[in-house]
Structure 1
Amino acid sequence: MITKTLFAAAIILSASTAAFAADPAMVGDTAKGRTLIDAHGMTLYTFDKDSDGKSACNGPCAVNWPPLAAAADAQSAASYTVVVRDDGSRQWAYKGHPLYTWTKDKKPGDITGDGFLNGAWHIAQP
């Protein structure tokens, strides 16, 4: 009886943990204020050329601006959605804007990509 109860409790705990999975990004502080950051504390960015929840940053662009990858089974939640990229991979978006890191940011809090490409890249702010 105890084994069945523990097994049932484990199933309920697993289901509730999945339902309340953590957001794909967190909020951190930079010199420009509160910013969305990834799990490593790196600043996330948005790109003006993206539209309608679709990434325009592919190929060499995506090498310099790595997309915030979403797992194959990732589910949209709250302000975060999953977009499918041209290569079929999945990427997190915040309020419809795909999210990226910047390879030239070297440590948490760096914001060297803000304003890049004549102002087309912006830090993602909550």
Structure 2
Amino acid sequence: MSGPEAPPDVIEIRGIRAYGRHGVFAHERADGQEFVVDVRLELDTRPAAASDDLADTVNYGEVAERVHKAIENDPVDLIETLAQRIADLCLDDPRVTGTAVTIHKPSAPISVPFDDVVLTVQRKRREPRD
């Protein structure tokens, strides 16, 4: 009988900022606004710790660049869609077993004073079906 699985290690990239044209209103598409994204990557970092080799872990610089491009390109109506797109790109790396993506939309079109609109999605790698 084996013990419980160890919790995954975590790499977080916080505050990735990019200008996007996401939103349901015409002025959001025309004018755009800044979006801020945080990503959490769950993975086993022991191979990288043992080898001290970047090839054995997730290159968080590359992930940040891909997230930045996802914010800037292909506008969508909903931040839910953007968050799913970013979660999918985080899970593209087979070493990532789970991810959380937080989208901040501090300039959302809301008619009352507010600090931020925030959406977080959490996704796990799906095991292939037999």
- Structure-2-length-normalised TM-score: 0.22
- Structure-1-length-normalised TM-score: 0.23
Structure that is richer in strand per residue = 2
Q: Which has the higher contact order (CA 8 A, sep 6+)?
A: 1
